[in-house]
Amino acid sequence: MPLSDAKTDDHPYWVRVVVDLPLQGPFDYRSDEEISVGTRVIVPFGRRKLVGMVVDCPQVPAHDPDQVRAIESVLRDVEPMEDSWLRFARFAADYYQRPLGEVILPALPQPLRRVSDYQGKRSGAGPVARLDKRRVAAAQPLEPGFAPALNQAQQAAVDAVGAATGFAPTLLFGVTGSGKTEVYLHAAQQVLAQGRNILMLVPEINLTPQFERALRARLEPATGPGGVAVMHSGLSDGERLRAWLRVRRGEARVVLGTRLAIFAPVVNVGLIVVDEEHDPSYKQQDGLRYSARDLAVWRARDLGVPVILGSATPSLESWVNAERGHYRRLDLTDRARDVEMPTVRLVDTRRLPMENGMSPQLLEAMRRRLDNNEQVLVYLNRRGYAPALHCASCGWVSQCPRCTAYTVLHRGQFGGHQLHCHHCGYQRRVPPACPDCGDQDLQPMGRGTQRIEEHLAELFPQARVARIDADTTRLKGSAQALFDRVHAHEIDILVGTQMVAKGHDFANLGLVGVLNADAMLFSQDFRAPERLFAQLMQVSGRAGRHTGHGEVIVQTGYPEQTVYQALARHDFAGFARHAMREREAASLPPYSHQALLTAESRELPEALAFLQQARASAEDVLQREGTHELVSLYDPVPFRIVRVAHVCRAQLLVEATQRSALHTLLRRWLADLNALPEARRVRWQLEVDPLEI
Ligand code: ADP
Ligand code: ZN
Ligand code: ZN
């Protein structure tokens, strides 16, 4: 039968469908009814059934029509996804080199992509109908919320964003406490008044309650009740589906969320905001390894709308974009509340008698602040009691049996101690004696937040001490409860990791003490100084936000380092200049573009052998393309922590002076990788624009 007759004979429609499988796809199916692009369908796949999405309706199938299977059912409980959303998904798939189905389906709420929610005993009319049937109590409207009059710099920023037409990327460079939130809120009000909607990203789940309250109080008068939807990974399936549907249906006009919200199906977008745009949490670290910040800029460009990237410590990528004139930079150079920036003191720990990791200067300053009824934050980016346990007589150190890493000593809830591996989750009780020499005197090595908390409670018996880190905030709502207690001044001394460093507007916090910052100073990763500077500047920015006279004490053995010197001057621009010179000289991002191929296997040589073969194959591609002068291939190397959970890991770095040369290589190269002889023995993945190397 000639292909052209296929359709006239029995009038089938052909649809091209993507599914969530690590296969390139899409796959062709037959349908008796017309289905528009963006519609979900249930299709047979091998012996399974899967939810997929129609991404194309070709005239003829790619294969013999007689072999093409029929779709099983069409899911019409949600409007087809918009073209602009599909375009966005296509871009992400192409840019990050993943099959389209692995972008589209994970971006939908679980129940919308689970066959069992549609077929089976209890599925009924499907998850959407089930949800719509429940009557859900509407959230109580909040008080409209007090809006301070904008200062000049804020007003100028709001005006500039409002005056922009079309795609207008803005880097809002505002010191900590400069009132960036007010700028977002006013810009959002303008956009809502034009009848358009807003997508706003924050880096941390813990920041969503604070922002949600502000957005609801200030924007719901314009959107009506329920006009703000929140999306983050802490929601249950049902909550996420409900929020997603309200967004898809245009009922929620403001979407606030963490990185995954960049895939929210917001309609009629008029503004995208990325707060703390430098934050590494915008990078997804598995599956589709996207940068929500970068995707936000792409989405804004595609939609022709303004995007605001806000930070006191912008990423060097965004900074360079501003320097080159690709982004417009708007500065807020002063704190909004008419208070000065905190003073930063560098305390040289090399010649000091330290008490449990704390200098006399820090303890003295803490005493003063506590006497003055102010709060103190002690920052240490290392959770647990101590980074390791060791035996003083023979040198034994607690090592994870599954990883090339130490196990971390933790104090258990009921007093006993355990050893935890932070890489693979392995746990054991503390051995009663040294496994090597039998000595019973095992000692903690170094300090984590638990040990500091314990010590501070002894030193300041009158003070109420609390700790905020990943361990104390595991339960849903527990982080918020702790932050609420800090805001209510039920806590005097707060010990915390980087969870407390970002975004929070503490009213009564006078002093920040930074312990052991040097750990990141000599890291192999070329981004470590940038990240360290941002962390320190952010945590410093928590001091004296409302009442002024803020003070920061940084304990370091290397006070002369640029990172610390620039920090003491609050000089981001100076730090950036220095860092950019180094990057330019070494031709590192943002002066080049990178991709990282990683391989995992039981034995390290297998992973390395695969990467060697991959390197040779990339060289072939470059020769063929004539682009070997634009792209460098590094030697495969093991990860710094080479083994995690018995799996060895190695990486191959690819670096290009031109983005297009990199992507051309990746496209050709990826197609060849699975055919390499060693490919069967490893798991590999590719990351575009890796943040950690
Ligand atoms: P950041 O720029 O660090 O995100 P915030 O948006 O948290 O700063 O604002 C810092 C503090 O300044 C908040 O307590 C906020 O309420 C207050 N604030 C912001 N704008 C003004 C203003 N124009 N007048 C007075 N206070 C303001
Ligand atoms: Zn021993
Ligand atoms: Zn481990």
Q: Give DSSP secondary structure letters for 560-578.
A: TSHHHHHHHTT-HHHHHHH
How much distance in Å is there from the Cα of 432 to the middle of ligand 2? 11
Look at ligand 1, atom 6, and give the residue with the nearest C-alpha.
179
Task: Write out pLDDT tens, residues 226-273.
Answer: 899 999 999 999 999 999 999 999 999 999 999 999 999 999 999 999
What would the two tokens of residue 395 be? 């040198």
How many residues does the structure list for the chain?
A: 693
Alpha carbon nearest to ligand 1 atom 9, residue: 179
Give, using CA atoms, the residue closest to atom 26 of ligand 1: 337
The predicted structure's pLDDT at residue 1: 38
Contacts of 401 (CB under 8 A, 6+ apart): 426
C-alpha of residue 214 to centroid of ligand 1, in Å: 12
670 neighbors 97 (Cβ within 8 angstroms) = yes
- The answer to whether 43 and 74 are in contact (CB under 8 A) is no
Examine the pLDDT at 3 and tell me if it is beyond 60.
no
Give me ligand 3 centre to Cα 389, in Å.
Answer: 15
Q: What is the pLDDT of residue 10?
A: 62
Provide the terminal-to-terminal Cα distance of the chain, rounded to the nearest Å.
55
* Mutational test site, ligand 1, from 176, 182, 218, 502, max ligand atoms within 8 Å of CB: 182
Token representation of residue 114: 């689970």
Q: Is the pLDDT of residue 5 over 50?
A: no
Measured in angstroms, how far is the CA atom of residue 398 from the centroid of ligand 2? 11
Residue nearest to atom 24 of ligand 1 (CA): 148
pLDDT digits (tens, 9 = 90+) for 465-509: 999 999 999 998 899 999 999 999 999 999 999 999 988 999 999
Superfamily of domain 13-132 in CATH is PriA, 3(prime) DNA-binding domain (3.40.1440.60)
Instruction: At 354, give phi and psi (nearest 5°).
Output: -100, 145
Instruction: Tell me what pLDDT residue 567 has.
Output: 98
Give domain 343-386+446-583's CATH architecture.
Answer: 3-Layer(aba) Sandwich (3.40)
The yes/no answer on whether domain 152-332 falls in CATH 1.20.1440.80 is no
Domain boundaries, the chain: 13-132, 152-332, 343-386+446-583, 593-688
**Residue ID of nearest Cα to ligand 1 atom 21:** 336
Distances (CA, A) of 531 to 315, 673, 692: 9, 33, 11
Task: Starting from the CA of residue 214, give the closest ligand.
Answer: 1
Query: 264 Cβ partners below 8 Å, 6+ apart?
Result: 199, 229, 231, 244, 247, 255, 257
In the reported structure, the alpha carbon of residue 682 is separated from the centroid of ligand 3 by a whole-number distance in angstroms of 20
Both tokens of residue 75? 């899911």
Q: Kindly report the protein residue whose alpha carbon is nearest to atom 3 of ligand 1.
A: 177
- Measure 145 CA to ligand 1 centroid, in angstroms: 14
pLDDT in tens, 639-662: 999 999 999 999 999 999 999 999
- Rounded distance between C-alpha atoms, residue 435 and residue 542, angstroms: 44
Give the nearest ligand 1 atom to 507 CA.
Answer: 14
User: From the CA of 220, how far away is ligand 1's center (Å)?
Assistant: 20
Nearest atom in ligand 1 to the alpha carbon of residue 174 is 2
Distance 397 CA to ligand 2 centre (A): 8
Q: Which of 171, 178, 311 to mutate to test the pocket of ligand 1 (most atoms within 8 A of CB)?
A: 178
| Rg of the Cα atoms in the chain | 27
Q: State pLDDT tens for residues 605-622.
A: 999 999 999 999 999 999
CA of 339 from ligand 1 middle (Å) equals 11
Return the DSSP state at 596. E
pLDDT digits (tens, 9 = 90+) for 7-41: 445 679 999 999 999 888 899 999 999 999 999 99
Residue 421 CA to ligand 3 center (angstroms) comes to 5
Supply the DSSP symbol for 440: S
Helices of type H across 65-199: 83-96, 101-104, 127-133, 152-163, 180-193
- What pLDDT is stored for residue 442 in this prediction? 95
Dist. CA 472–CA 450, nearest whole Å: 10
What spacing in Å lies between the alpha carbon of 148 and ligand 1's midpoint? 8
Do 589 and 653 contact (CB within 8 A), yes or no? no
Distance between CA 55 and CA 249 in Å, rounded? 21
Q: Which one of the ligands is nearest to 311 CA? A: 1
**How large is the average pLDDT for residues 532-552?**
96
| pLDDT value of residue 69 | 96
The string of pLDDT tens digits covering residues 79-132 is 999 999 999 999 999 999 999 999 999 999 999 999 999 987 777 789 999 888
Index of the ligand 1 atom closest to the CA of residue 541: 3
The residue behind tokens 């052909």 is 14
Look over the chain and give the mean of its residue pLDDT values, rounded to a whole number.
Answer: 94
At 464, which amino acid appears? R
Minimum CA distance residue for ligand 1 atom 15: 179
Ligand with the closest atom to the CA of 434: 2
Q: Hey, whose CA ends up nearest to atom 16 of ligand 1? A: 179
**Per-residue model confidence (pLDDT) at position 9:** 52
User: Token pair of 253, please?
Assistant: 């006009």
CA of 424 to the centre of ligand 3 (A): 4
Helices (H), 115-268: 127-133, 152-163, 180-193, 208-223, 237-248
CB atoms within 10 A of CB 281: 16
- pLDDT confidence bin for 2, thresholds 50/70/90: very low
Q: Work out the number of other CB atoms within 10 angstroms of the CB of residue 125.
A: 11
Q: Do domains 152-332 and 343-386+446-583 have the same CATH topology?
A: yes
Give the number of the ligand closest to the Cα of residue 390: 2
Pairing of strands 465-468, 269-275: unpaired
Nearest ligand to residue 436 Cα: 2
Q: Which CATH number fits domain 593-688: 3.40.50.620, 3.40.50.2300, 3.30.70.360, 3.40.120.10?
A: 3.30.70.360
Helix or strand run (H / E) with residue 414? none
Q: In ligand 1, which atom is closest to the CA atom of 505?
A: 7
Pocket-testing residue among 181, 202, 213, 332, ligand 1, by greatest number of atoms within 8 A of Cβ: 181
Beta bridge partners of 686: 597
Torsion (CA) 39, 43, 49, 53 in degrees, nearest 10: -30
Q: Which atom from ligand 1 is nearest to the alpha carbon of 275?
A: 4
- Quick: pLDDT tens for 168-225: 999 999 999 999 999 999 999 999 999 999 999 999 888 898 899 999 999 999 998 8
Q: What is the tens place of the pLDDT at every residue in 441-458? A: 999 999 999 999 999 999
Ligand 3 ion: residues within 5 Å (CB): 400, 402-403, 421, 423-424, 426
Ligand 1 center–CA 176 separation, angstroms: 9
Q: What is the pLDDT of residue 142?
A: 72
What are the structure tokens assigned to 231, written together?
């999306």
As a whole number of angstroms, the distance between CA 407 and CA 393 comes to 19
Question: To test ligand 1's pocket by mutation, which of 278, 333, 505, 539 has the most ligand atoms within 8 angstroms of CB?
Answer: 505
Q: Which residues line ligand 1 (CB under 6 A)?
A: 148-151, 154, 174, 176-182, 336-337, 505, 545
